[in-house]
Structure 1
Amino acid sequence: MADPWWTDDDQLLEVLRDALTSANEIPPSFVEAGKAAYAWRTIDADLAALTFDSAWDSPEPSLTRATESATLRRLTFATDALSVELELTPGELLGQLSPPDSGTVRVTTGTDDLGTVPIDELGFFVITPVPHQPFQLVCHTDAGTTVRTGWVSP
């Protein structure tokens, strides 16, 4: 009876080399499908509805001399359990959960995860820099509530 392949070092190295080479040959469509499936992991999160956006305010003729509009944009997303209030500036995104609770907030842009920041015990968080493409926030509170905002276009 011949020795098993795993007892010969040269054969073992050849099998490992083949495994590593084939791992580099994964089709791009397969990788994209995996990323899309990963995005579904938070499907159970409550989707917060956009209830206020300061961009909705219609500019009325002003009697002041200011020629520039403010660079602050305010948004409010709400579910039955939690609301997420955002202030979007050119340099940072300020957020507040109501009712306040600590936890984490994750920033995503479709299939890309841009990172996670902490939410303090007052429900406050800061995200810097502001993503330059449409993004969503997924807020996980220590009380067990998970809320996903709608898409925010900076």
Structure 2
Amino acid sequence: MESLRRAAAAIDPVPDLVTRNAQAALSTRRVDEELAELVADSELLAPGRVRAPDDDTRLLSFEAAGVSVELQVEYAGGLVSLRGLVSGASGEAVVEVAGQRHAVPIDEEGWFVVTGLPRGATRVRVTAVDGTAVVTRWTSV
């Protein structure tokens, strides 16, 4: 079995980005966080119902007890921009992607924006009004 593993690694090695994303996903889950579930993803809807086939925008909705995170994901030039609307939380949103952390303020209306992100497994962490940490599931953007 080991010889097969070495042969596969030599012929088709796992890309570094995949390894980094997997390590990040497995090493950063905390038991004191509430996990926000993905409840809607425009990419999973039938083509044409929400966006045109050539549209470079994706909409994601996450919910946890008392907190919702709506994300508008825009793709341009190989990079990703996130515009988020949060209800039930305040302070800052922390966007994690490819081993990077981007902390941005949530404004008084619940909006935050992060631009210039690499594509890959991404999640958002916010703090609920009651102090509970809420984090979205890792989602490939």
Q: TM-score normalized by structure 1?
A: 0.62
Asked if 2 retains the 8 angstrom alpha-carbon contact of 1:102 and 1:122, the reply is no
2:3 match: none
Candidates 77, 94, 105, aligned match of 2:62: 77
Identity of aligned residues (%): 34
Write 1 or 2 for the structure with the bigger share of strand: 2
1:10 match: none
Q: Per-residue CA shift, 1:46-94, capped at 9, x if unaligned? A: 1001000000111269xxxx7x421110000001210100000015100
Give the Å deviation of 1:114.
Answer: 2.1
Give the Å deviation of 1:125.
Answer: 0.4
Candidates 114, 118, 131, aligned match of 1:131: 118
Q: For residues 121 and 44 of structure 2, what CA distance do their matches in structure 1 show?
A: 18
Asked if 2 retains the 8 angstrom alpha-carbon contact of 1:102 and 1:141, the reply is yes
Asked if 2 retains the 8 angstrom alpha-carbon contact of 1:104 and 1:141, the reply is no
Write 1 or 2 for the structure with the bigger share of helix: 1
1:54 match: 42
Q: What stretches of structure 2 of length at least 5 have no aligned partner?
A: 1-23
| 1:5-154 to 2 correspondences below 5 Å | 39-40=28-29, 42-59=30-47, 68-90=53-75, 91-99=80-88, 101-109=89-97, 112-141=99-128, 143-154=130-141
Helix, strand or coil at the partner of 1:55? helix
From the superposition, tell whether residues 103 and 37 of structure 1 become closer, same or farther in structure 2 (CA, over 3 Å).
same
Helix, strand or coil at the partner of 2:43? helix
> 135-144 or 48-57, which moves further after superposition?
135-144
Q: TM-score normalized by structure 2?
A: 0.67
Which protein, 1 or 2, shows the higher relative CO under an 8 Å CA cutoff with sep ≥ 6? 2
Runs of 4+ in 1 over 6 A off after TM superposition: 35-38
Q: What stretches of structure 1 of length at least 5 have no aligned partner?
A: 1-34
Aligned pairs, number: 112
Helix, strand or coil at the partner of 1:129? strand
Which entry has the higher C-alpha Rg, 1 or 2? 1
